[in-house]
């Protein structure tokens, strides 16, 4: 069985997640820790829990979701995976950092590409990858059918949806991705978003003001 835990980092109040199993192997999702205090509070948690990071996997590569990638890659010597279609966003990250006034010189290099429709295994457990372009061209969702949860990045939020005014964003594509991928998941699926509190598919289908299922 796969479990998740969330952390909230940086001025954008971004949610970073870990996905872990009973063997204490873990994936780090969207590491957004920015200050050295945020990095050390995260790494202290990993050490205290005896977790063994295997990889960094990202739902997408906007600045607030990648601030911590380089520090964690250096520390744990683990690979960083993204969807190939988000590569232009990642490559533009240093530029947007400058625009927002953040100290972030080198965007991390991806070590592997994550493909939709292919299960990825952590130990004996697997997650499915849903391709949900719209908020960014290479946005993906990590879904555990056994755990009944999904990490949705900035595609779907509790009572809201992702913004599409950033480079590579597309509103119609976003709505289509939510309808064709996320809203096909069982209603009880818990949605862990890139910002704000968790929700469920059933709750969003019934009450999301931007898109009903």
Binding site for Zn ion (CB under 5 A): 62, 154
Q: Are 56 and 41 in contact (CB under 8 A)?
A: no
CB of 90 to Zn ion, least distance (A): 12
CB of 181 to Zn ion, least distance (A): 17
Considering the complex, state which of residue 122 and residue 138 has its C-beta at the smaller distance from Zn ion: 138
Nearest to residue 7, comparing CAs of 47, 43, 57, 48? 43
Considering the complex, state which of residue 76 and residue 210 has its C-beta at the smaller distance from Zn ion: 210
Residue with nearest beta carbon to Zn ion: 62
Tokens of 189: 């699926």
Considering the complex, state which of residue 98 and residue 206 has its C-beta at the smaller distance from Zn ion: 98
Q: Are 131 and 118 in contact (CB under 8 A)?
A: no
Q: Strands 112-113 and 80-82, how do they pair?
A: parallel
CB of 154 to Zn ion, least distance (A): 4
Strand partners, 55: 27
Considering the complex, state which of residue 86 and residue 154 has its C-beta at the smaller distance from Zn ion: 154
CB of 126 to Zn ion, least distance (A): 25
Radius of gyration, CA atoms only, the chain: 16
């Amino acid at each position: 069985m796969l479990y998740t835990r969330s952390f909230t980092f940086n001025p954008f109040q971004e949610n970073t997640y870990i996905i872990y199993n009973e063997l204490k192997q873990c994936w780090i999702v969207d590491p957004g820790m920015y200050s050295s205090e945020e990095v050390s509070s995260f790494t202290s948690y990993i050490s205290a829990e005896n977790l063994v990071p295997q990889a960094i996997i990202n739902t997408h590569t906007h600045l607030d979701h990648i601030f911590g990638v380089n520090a964690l890659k250096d520390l744990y010597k683990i690979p960083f995976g993204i969807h190939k279609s988000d590569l232009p966003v990642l490559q533009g990250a240093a530029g947007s950092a400058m625009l927002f006034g953040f100290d972030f010189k080198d965007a991390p290099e991806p070590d592997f590409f994550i493909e939709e429709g292919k299960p990825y295994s952590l130990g004996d457990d697997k997650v499915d990858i849903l391709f949900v372009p719209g908020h960014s061209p290479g946005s993906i969702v990590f879904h555990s059918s056994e755990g009944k949860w999904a990490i949705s990045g900035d595609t779907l939020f509790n009572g809201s949806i992702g913004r599409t005014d950033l480079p590579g964003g597309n509103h119609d594509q976003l709505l289509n991705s939510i309808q064709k991928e996320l809203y096909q998941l069982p209603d009880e699926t818990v949605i862990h978003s890139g910002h704000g509190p968790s929700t469920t598919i059933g709750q969003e289908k019934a009450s999301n003001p931007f898109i009903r299922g």
